[in-house]
Amino acid sequence: MSKPIYILNGPNLNLLGTREPEIYGTSTLSDIETGLLRLSANNALVFRQTNHEGVLIDWVQESAEKGAVLILNPGAFTHTSIALHDALKACAIPIIELHLSNPEAREAFRHVNFVAPIAQGRIAGFGAYGYELALKAAQRLILQEG
């Protein structure tokens, strides 16, 4: 059996659909997960969200051991978490950084990024559709490695 694609979501993403819909859209995280499950083909998905930095780091470490690819929407931890940066550096699987909005087009504090230097690629600014793009990229990476 092949390893799953991990899709991990950081703080406040549980509020999708209601939090600043003009920036993040109206799709909920559950809507996004349902859509990805339809598109996952033969790839198993592990889809999770947490508001807690340590939990996210534990899941990153788990993905490194049990996953094929990590798709990570770190939310605000992108700009603040050196601990997440260090956990990602220890991750030997491909990492795709994902953001619903384009952080560079927003406030200056969002321009700091502790994830980008480690990620193989980055998808930002396409709203919920970015998750589909990230899944397609992950599937392609798996095929290339297979």
- Give all domains of the chain, ordered by start, each with its CATH number: 5-145 (3.40.50.9100)
> What are the distances in angstroms from CA 83 to CA 44, 87, 101?
27, 6, 23
**Contact residues for 3 (Cβ-Cβ < 8 A; gap 6+):** 44, 66, 67, 68
Residue tagged active-site, from 6, 24, 85, 131: 24
pLDDT bracket for residue 24 (50, 70, 90) = low
Contact of 122 with 96, CB cutoff 8 Å: yes
3 vs 124: CA distance, rounded Å: 25
Q: What is the pLDDT of residues 103-145, one digit of tens each?
A: 765 667 667 677 888 999 999 999 999 999 999 999 999 988 7
pTM: 0.91
Annotation says 24 is catalytic: yes
Q: Which among 6, 85, 99, 131 is annotated as catalytic?
A: 99
The span from the CA of 122 to the CA of 66, in Å, is 22
* Partners of 46 in beta bridges: 6
Count other Cβ atoms within 10 Å, centred on residue 119.
Answer: 20
